[in-house]
Amino acid sequence: MENSTNNWTDIISIVSILGTWVTIVLVYFTLQEMRNQRKASQKPELIIPIAPIFGYAQDNDIFVAGSWSNKERKNESAVVEERPQVTIYNIGAGAAKEINIKWDFDLSGTVKSIQDYCYHNSLPVVVNIQEDILKIESKGRESYISIEAYSKAEHVYLMPASVTAKGLKSSIPVTFLELLSILIFLDIHQTHKKSSNKPLLPVEESRFEIPMLFCELSYVDIGGVRYAKKFDVIFHPSMVMGIPSRKIELSSTEPVFHGWFEFREKFE
């Protein structure tokens, strides 16, 4: 009888211990879930939607865009932005801080292809890289652009879109815009040699090759966790101006080209 009582006592003790462990495990997973929910509540999620661009010539003697805008210029007095921008939105639940954006593309290869074409076709466009400076000369217009200065940008913070829908503005690197404009001009020249008197070219007739622009975005949440995203930035032309066979005056409200930049996120 005593042995039977001891057995029941042992069983009750074992069940009690198991119950305690089950409770501990449940509490652990509950705390883990709460922790994950807390992390999710402070996680930012940054995106970059498409960015439109209009390029305007500054000299009627050469159809190279020298100023750009995200919006179409409707009248002569409208201000054209010196550098168009992309807008970064935070669709996550938490704020993002220490936001860094970095741009890159095949600068030397692009410059080399422009130099070769202009040399063989006697075009009045000179492009050179001198140390960390991109130098561009065309019909008396000279540009000296610091390559490093426009390849990176830093921003302090960005609140979620549920708090503010304004987004964060960041400039597209002017080195890329200058070379993009020259490449479009070269395509206009190349196409004009093959077909004359076409003032407006359909997109499918455009043959210029634009180098891939790369964008890397990194940011930190309020808990100190860092996130990184990489994008392939693709330029899609929607209109490219042709050169008529006779000399014309190009209106300052008439774009040489327009299109948009698409940001395709790369998942590794």
51: its two tokens = 């960015």
- What pLDDT, on a 0 to 100 scale, did the predictor assign at position 259? 93
What pLDDT, on a 0 to 100 scale, did the predictor assign at position 57? 79
Parts of the chain with a pLDDT under 70: 1-12, 14-41, 58-62, 75-82, 140, 192-208, 242-253
- Please give the DSSP secondary-structure letter assigned to residue 222: T
Tokens of 144: 């000296």
C-alpha span between 263 and 86 (Å, rounded): 10
Burial class (CB in 10 A: 0-12, 13-18, 19+), 107: middle
Q: Look at residue 101 in the predicted model and tell me its pLDDT.
A: 96
Pair 27, 139: CB distance under 8 Å: no
Residue 197: the pLDDT is 47
Contact (CB, 8 A) for 216 and 203: no
Length of the chain: 268
What was the pLDDT predicted at 246?
Answer: 41
Longest dimension (CA), the chain: 118
- CA 153 to chain centroid, in Å, comes to 12
- DSSP E strand stretches across the chain: 46-47, 51-57, 65-69, 85-90, 96-104, 125-130, 133-138, 141-146, 152-158, 168-171, 200-201, 213-220, 226-241, 257-266
Closest to 97 (Cα-Cα) out of 219, 223, 226: 219
- Cα–Cα distance measured from residue 123 to residue 107, given in angstroms and rounded to the nearest whole number: 20
